[in-house]
Amino acid sequence: ERRHRKRREDRSIWHRAVEDGMATWTAFLPTPQAAELDAAIDAHAATFTDDDRTLNQKRVDALYDLIVNRPVTETTPGARSAAVVQVTVSLDTLIGVDEEPAVLKGYGAISAGQARQVAFA
């Protein structure tokens, strides 16, 4: 129990950019919380329509949706999270004249399409 209490102090979230405009997002947290997250993600993913996404793809989409597009409840009004994302992109890329990559602060290069998606979200 003492070791667990000490390790709880180390809980953390971190991310790492990888190739092709993707990233790894990791959380270090107590096992019961991880199990609850898994259950919540699976339950939300099960509400998605039957489409061409794999279960893993639906789970990632569910995680994003639960965090960024918080669901409406009686105690929370349900609005997008107040997140600030900084993208450096040329105007030509932004308006679709060219397809030059952009830079997502904290991650690195992202595709023109990703930059437009972030800019117009």
Sorted by sequence, the CB contacts under 8 Å of residue 113 that are 6+ apart come out as 99
Return the structure tokens found at 116. Answer: 């437009």
Q: Residue 94: enclosing H or E segment and its boundaries? A: helix 91-94
15-62 per-position pLDDT tens digit: 999 998 899 999 999 988 999 999 999 999 999 998 999 999 999 999
CB 61 within 8 A of CB 53: yes
Count Cβ atoms below 10 Å from residue 37 Cβ, excluding itself.
Answer: 14
Type of residue at 64:
Y
- The answer to pTM > 0.85 is no
